[in-house]
Amino acid sequence: MKALQLFGDRDLRLGEVEPPPPPGPGEVQIRVRAVGLNHIDVWGFRGMAFARRKLPVVVGAEASGEIASVGQGVSALVPGQRVVMYGAMTCGRCRACREGRDNLCEEVGGIMGFHLDGFSREFVNMPARLVLPVPDGVSFEDAACAPIAYGTVQHMLFDNARLEPGESILVHAGGSGIGTAAIRMAKAIGCTVFTTVGDDAKADRARGLGADHVINYRSERFEGEVRRLTKRRGVDVVFEHVGAGTWNGSLLCLKRGGRLVTCGSTSGVSTSMNLMQLFQQQYRITGSFGCRMANITDSLAKMAGGLTPVLDEVLPIADFARGLEKLESRRVFGKVIATL
Ligand SMILES: [Zn+2]
């Protein structure tokens, strides 16, 4: 079968590998249809943490597909059913797993597509407990955005930042895969959305998604604009994933008692911050990584209800590297999906 493997820094090769054996007890075999590209793939592509990873590794950390066959004891999933997969090999037994806090599993065996072989291959065997059904009417391409992009945003906004209807939120990089999802999810519950973009074409598209205030961070200081537009009060929530380049500006955008939630550090991993500002302003800062399986189910339900992802491009699996280069250079508006 076909598989796309990473052999080293920027060395992706589409080749033939042995197909998996029939699914074992409690497993299903999935025919993969669409793979969502994410920044975690860019980290891998750039060679991050190679020392701790096996190579070559099949890339692709979020995907959709259909059940090809089921192993012994699997009754909840049937051949032909459309599904998405949870891409972290959780133990299913620890307290966090039992309580549905899957992304805090104490015995996690690695992330597929990064530490372990991922989804950019025709067939994959998975424990049935990590496979979730896709509702009717949601395409493979859209569903492929649920396990990471939508799931992460759902987890950040509603589990971590506890965003409420009517609140105000600053969404950084409104043209990114998660930025577009955050704008749409926040607007869907009636929030006032501020967002930052890097060019005027993206500004128009962000307004088209419903963003109320769009700031071009290349021509204006975003923190000054947010403070001016909120009459110096600030916003309730900041959705961060840019990192060092925006961190202190993001804190300046928060109102007293405001919440900042972050899942990325594209512009740099280290920064300094004013601790007096942190405690006097009573900020709440939460790190977020991945999501719970329930967040994926909620995301798919939102898609079925019409809150569909913005797709920048759907490309063949052979063009995966070109897709990663687009993400890396920020020349995207929405998600890049590879099909196979
Ligand atoms: Zn666990």
Do residue 79 and residue 130 come from a single domain?
A: yes
Q: How many A from CA of 56 to the centre of ligand 1?
A: 26
Tell me, letter by letter, the H, E, C secondary structure of 189-216. Answer: CCCEEEEEECCHHHHHHHHHCCCCEEEE
Task: Say what the pLDDT of residue 48 is.
Answer: 67
| Rounded distance from Cα 290 to ligand 1 centre (Å) | 14
**Residue 78 resides in a domain:** yes
**CB under 8 Å to 30, separation ≥6 — which residues?**
65, 66, 67, 68, 83, 85, 123, 124, 125, 126, 131
| Any domain includes 256 | yes
**Same domain membership, residue 107 and residue 15:** yes
Confidence of residue 54 (pLDDT cuts 50, 70, 90): confident
Residue 171 scores a pLDDT above 70: yes
As given in the structure block, the two tokens for residue 4 are 């796309």
Q: How far is the centre of ligand 1, averaged over its atoms, from the C-alpha of 13 (Å)?
A: 33
CA 174–ligand 1 middle distance (angstroms): 33
Answer whether residue 134 shows pLDDT above 80.
Answer: yes
Ligand 1 centroid, distance to 117 Cα (angstroms): 19
In the chain, what percentage of residues exceed pLDDT 70?
99
CA of 99 from ligand 1 middle (Å) equals 9
Distances (CA, A) of 179 to 11, 211, 255, 262: 28, 11, 21, 12
Rounded distance from Cα 87 to ligand 1 centre (Å): 13
Q: Is residue 73 part of a domain?
A: yes
Distance 182 CA to ligand 1 centre (A): 28
Q: Quick one: 198 and 325 in the same domain?
A: no
Residue 49 makes CB contacts below 8 A (sequence gap 6+) with 43
Coil, strand or helix at 309 = coil
Mean pLDDT, residues 34-49 taken together:
86
Residue 302 in domain? no
Rounded distance from Cα 53 to ligand 1 centre (Å)? 21
Q: How far is the CA of 91 from the centre of ligand 1 (A)?
A: 4
Looking at the fold, whether 135 and 196 belong to one and the same domain comes out as no
Say yes or no to pLDDT of 91 above 60.
Answer: yes
Of 103, 35, 107, residue with least CA distance to 296: 103
What is the C-alpha separation between 298 and 309, in angstroms, rounded? Answer: 14
Residue 124 lies in a domain: yes
pLDDT of residue 38: 95
Distance 160 CA to ligand 1 centre (A): 20
- Per-residue confidence at 133, pLDDT binned at 50, 70, 90? very high
Same structural domain for residues 8 and 137? yes
Query: Does residue 110 sit in the same domain as residue 186?
Result: no
- 50 pLDDT more than 80: no
Per the structure, the count of domains in the chain is 2
Q: Rounded to 5 degrees, what angle do the CA atoms 326, 330, 331 make? A: 60
Among 330, 329, 326, 328, smallest CA distance to 338 is for 326
104 shares a domain with 7: yes
Give CA–CA dist 44/50, Å, rounded.
8
Tell me if 296 is assigned to some domain.
Answer: no
Residue 299 located in a structural domain: no
Cα(304) to centroid(ligand 1), Å: 29
The order of strands in the sheet holding 11-16 is: 11-16, 2-8, 57-58
CA of 101 to the centre of ligand 1 (A): 9
| pLDDT over 80 at 307, yes or no | yes
Confidence check: pLDDT of 198 > 60: yes
317-334 tens-digit pLDDT: 999 999 999 999 989 999
| Residue 102 CA to ligand 1 centre (angstroms) | 7
Task: Extract the tokens encoding 323.
Answer: 């897709």
Q: Are residues 86 and 206 in the same domain?
A: no
User: What value does the mean pLDDT take over residues 36-53?
Assistant: 80
Find tokens 């900041």 and name the residue: 238
Shared domain for 164 and 132, answered yes or no, is no
Residues with CB under 5 A from ligand 1 (ion): 90-91, 94, 97, 105, 107
Query: Residue 272's domain is classified under what CATH number?
Result: 3.90.180.10
Residue 216 in any domain: the answer is yes
Centre of ligand 1 to C-alpha 100, Å, is: 9
d(CA 158, CA 302) in angstroms, rounded, equals 13
Domain that holds residue 181: 151-287
Question: Taking the chain, what is the end-to-end CA distance rounded to the nearest angstrom?
Answer: 11
Residues 134 and 177 in one domain: no
Ligand 1 midpoint to CA 130 (Å):
12
> Do 140 and 6 fall within a single domain?
yes
Please give the single-letter amino acid code of residue 333.
F
Does residue 176 surpass a pLDDT of 70? yes
| CA of 110 relative to ligand 1 center, distance in Å | 11
Same domain, 279 and 199: yes
Give the residue from 282, 288, 32, 57 showing the smallest Cα distance to 160.
288
pLDDT value of position 46: 84
